[in-house]
């Protein structure tokens, strides 16, 4: 008998969940942070490093970007995204909804889908629910995200309600395309709960999505500028209404402290561009808080980035040398910074999983949050 898609292994008194997600390209230990490989590549790292050094079990790719360049038809001709990018493990693809909706001056929403101009060359395109499914199925993703409308968190209630209703209609159109493909061995579809910061709309949309009995559910439309406490309140409200036997994905979150505070809300999956984007801009995450490596503070500092970190950058190089590389614009500096940040995030999640298994997550998170507040000078 095959294993269920999601296997709940333990629940901590804090509410944190320890589980396993069984996908086509291997098992994913949860809670999990998924590095973002927007265009089929995690910027600054190659697949060998991701697979063997960082032991990443699932990456995130983006439908919008891969559709525009190199094109999903080309990727399909090369055997799908796994083969095209030489990645043997799992891939989750965002539907492209957030990207096209972020192009506020370049897109027009209608019932058929979203018409937009490419940020690359200004050409016109239309992504509909059916088109989003077509693209993701051509990419051969392991987790396929439903096409949704992501309203601004401060939008009027009527506008948010309209977006929620359209997201539901679009989900049903996604399901029509996805269901026969799944029977043929394609990936799993996750629905996305929308509703901005309106608790009642979130409750209503969650109930509607549960009627579709999907393989997994995501909380979307958060981490868009609202207060972190409000974000967590809404995320918890949705997660508490989702079935225990399905994976729960909080999209686009976040900083290390966000992860530590969101895991006990009963969430399993997270992603964010922060570790890689911040690395490229000289901001490193450490056990003792954020370290802006370009600052003159570190020009003679012989300590590693983080004395508690076992990544190759910390084991071999000093803050002083890495500062020199980054200030000189050396690609090696960006690469080492990215390696460290992704390592830090994945290690934090690995430690969180162990703490949940041992029933001590609350103490673990409190200790980590206290250390994050000290500052890297005290490392």
Give the active site residues: 94, 271
For the record, the structure tokens of 212 come out as 């579709």
For the record, the structure tokens of 23 come out as 């996908």
Question: Cα-atom radius of gyration of the chain, to the nearest Å?
Answer: 21
Residue found under tokens 């088109």? 131
- C-beta atoms surrounding 344 within 10 Å: 23
How is residue 3 annotated by DSSP? P
Pairing of strands 113-117, 124-127: antiparallel
For the record, the structure tokens of 113 come out as 């889908």
CB of 337 closer than 8 Å to CB of 293: yes
Provide the edge-to-edge strand list for the sheet that holds 32-34: 32-34, 269-271, 248-250, 216-219, 188-193, 143-145, 90-94, 58-62
What is the rounded CA–CA span in Å between residue 278 and residue 36?
13
């Amino acid at each position: 008998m095959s294993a269920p898609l999601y296997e709940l292994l333990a629940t901590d008194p804090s509410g944190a969940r320890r589980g396993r997600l069984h996908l086509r390209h291997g098992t994913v230990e949860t809670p999990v942070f998924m590095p973002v490989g927007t265009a089929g590549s995690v910027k600054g790292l190659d697949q060998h490093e991701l697979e063997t050094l960082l032991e990443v079990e699932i990456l995130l790719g983006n439908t919008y970007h891969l559709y525009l360049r190199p094109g999903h038809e080309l990727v399909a001709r090369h055997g799908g995204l796994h083969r095209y990018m030489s990645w043997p493990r799992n891939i989750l693809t965002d539907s492209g909804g957030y990207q096209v909706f972020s192009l506020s001056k370049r897109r027009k929403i209608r019932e058929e889908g979203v018409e937009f101009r490419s940020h690359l060359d200004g050409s016109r395109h239309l992504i509909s629910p059916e088109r989003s499914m077509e693209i993701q199925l051509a990419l051969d993703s392991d987790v396929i995200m439903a096409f949704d409308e992501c309203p601004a968190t401060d939008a009027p209630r009527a506008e948010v309600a309209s977006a929620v209703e359209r997201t539901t209609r679009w989900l049903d159109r996604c399901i029509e395309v996805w269901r026969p493909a799944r029977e043929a061995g394609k990936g799993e579809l996750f629905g996305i709960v929308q509703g901005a910061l309106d608790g009642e709309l979130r409750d209503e949309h969650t109930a509607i999505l549960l009627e579709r009995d999907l393989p997994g559910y995501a909380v979307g439309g958060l981490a868009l500028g609202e207060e972190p406490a409000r974000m967590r309140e809404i995320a918890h409200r949705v997660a508490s209404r989702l079935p225990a036997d399905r994976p729960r994905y909080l999209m686009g979150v976040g900083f290390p402290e966000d992860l530590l505070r969101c895991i006990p809300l009963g969430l399993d999956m997270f992603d964010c561009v922060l570790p890689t984007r911040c690395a490229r801009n000289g901001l490193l995450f450490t056990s003792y808080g954020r370290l802006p490596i370009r600052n003159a503070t570190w020009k003679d500092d012989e300590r590693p980035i983080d004395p508690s970190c076992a990544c190759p950058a910390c084991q071999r190089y000093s803050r002083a040398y890495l500062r020199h590389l980054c200030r000189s614009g050396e690609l090696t500096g960006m690469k080492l910074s990215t390696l460290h940040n992704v390592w830090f995030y994945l290690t934090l999640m690995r430690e969180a999983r162990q703490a949940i298994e041992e029933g001590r997550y609350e103490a673990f998170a409190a200790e980590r949050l206290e250390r994050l507040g000290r500052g890297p000078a005290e490392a």
